[in-house]
Amino acid sequence: MNFMAALRSAWRALASNALRSMLTMLGIIIGVAAVITMIAVGAGATERVQEQMKGLGSNIMLVIPGSVTSGGVRLGAQASQGLTEEDAQAIALEVPEVQVAAPTSRTSAQLVAGNTNWASSVYGTTNDYLEARDWPLASGRLFEASEIQGSAKVAIIGQTVARELFGDLDPVDQTMRIKNVPVTVVGLLARKGQNSMGQDQDDTVIVPISTYRNRIQGGGGGRLKRVGSINVKVIEGQSMKVAEDSIKELLRQRKRVQPGADDPFTVRNLTEILQAQEASSQVMTLLLSAVAGVSLIVGGIGIMNIMLVSVTERTREIGLRMAVGARGRDILTQFLIEAVTLSLIGGAIGVLLGAIATWAVGQFAGWQVSMTLNSIVLAAGFSALVGVFFGFYPAKRASKLLPIQALRHE
């Protein structure tokens, strides 16, 4: 018996018990569909974190004011000296691992352009902020040094603000009002998308730090130049840990923090946080895939069970084949092909159901999913392996039957 003859014989045997074959394949179908869906969900989560890391920028740390403890009582961030523009300058100049340090303050404000208004986030900062965030311009220009120093009424806006205020018009050189302060748009940011908290990063207005302090916030000229945070970008290849320790030591000196006292600031390594999230997503994907893979093993056990029943039912047929010249390897091949065919058909149906389930998760649950060719090949290949592994014993048992005993079987 050649391979094609064995394949036709196996197909006829499966078709003669179509309902039983379909029920046998259910475990494989569910297992393959579950594996594909779980891998797609996990891959989507990993891609989402990677997109957030790209949107955040590389080698980023955030310095924010921290709480102060006095007499065992935490007084809160406002009780401390806070962070200032001079602190940002000192970090940029005195920490060799730092590429840029951008002082940043933020508020929410109503924007008005003509008859259109829009509520957005307004950031007061410098051009270093865009360098730290790896955020290029889509059009226009950055702030000039005189504009940053002189509280100029200029702004750089994000894609969402441009769409909501100006529609299809080119926003560059257009005028809008921020808290009744008229400003001219000099630049349009490239699209960033959502951040890790699901907030729209493109819903942003950036003004010079002096403009924010003196015009938007309304601070006096002699007021201490406090900022809400400092965005720090570490030079590529430099140690984030060394840079973090150096920043802490520098700020402790500047704030005159006594040995053993709490830091009046916090340094957050945002890149490490997102990398930890990515690692967690990958581990969760492996765990979910392993759980889904149990269904494939259960399906394989079902195939073994049915194949053993099939061998018992067809013992006389096996004996007759052997009596007319079939060899043991022919019988082995036939039953092995039956088991693998069950697995492959179940795997194909499972791939289809997995694709539908993946689409449904992305469409209705709103999760980011990523179905790749590798996941399909992995699931289908594993299903074929299950068929070979669990079908081999029944096939081997059938091939070892003695013709005379098989013909006498009732």
Q: Which residues pair with 182 in a beta bridge?
A: 177
Spatial contact of 150 and 197, defined as CB atoms under 8 Å apart? no
Nearest residue to 65 (alpha-carbon basis) of 264, 260, 245, 223: 264
- State how far the Cα of 284 lies from the Cα of 136, in Å rounded to an integer: 34
Task: Give Cα 274 distance to the centre of its chain.
Answer: 10
Res 123: pLDDT? 95
Spatial contact of 101 and 89, defined as CB atoms under 8 Å apart? yes
User: Token pair for residue 192?
Assistant: 């960033």
Please tell me whether the overall predicted TM-score, pTM, comes out greater than 0.85 for this model. Answer: no
Can you give the pLDDT of all 410 residues of the chain as single tens digits? Answer: 566 776 777 677 777 777 877 887 887 888 888 888 888 887 777 777 666 655 555 678 889 987 544 444 444 444 445 889 999 999 999 999 999 999 999 999 999 998 999 999 999 999 999 998 888 999 999 999 999 999 999 999 999 999 999 998 999 999 999 988 999 999 999 998 776 566 788 999 999 999 999 888 875 544 568 899 999 998 888 888 888 889 999 999 988 888 888 888 888 886 666 666 667 767 777 777 777 677 777 777 877 877 777 777 667 776 777 777 777 777 777 777 877 888 888 888 888 998 898 888 888 877 778 777 877 887 778 777 877 787 777 777 777 776 666 566 55
- State how far the Cα of 282 lies from the Cα of 272, in Å rounded to an integer: 15
Contacts 24+ apart (CB under 8 A), 381-385: 382/32, 382/35, 382/293, 382/296, 383/28, 383/31, 383/32, 383/296, 383/299, 383/343, 383/344, 383/346, 383/347, 383/350, 384/340, 384/343, 384/344, 384/347
Res 143: pLDDT? 95
- State how far the Cα of 69 lies from the Cα of 264, in Å rounded to an integer: 9
- Please calculate the CA angle 300-333-395 and round it to the nearest 5 degrees: 50
Res 112: pLDDT? 93
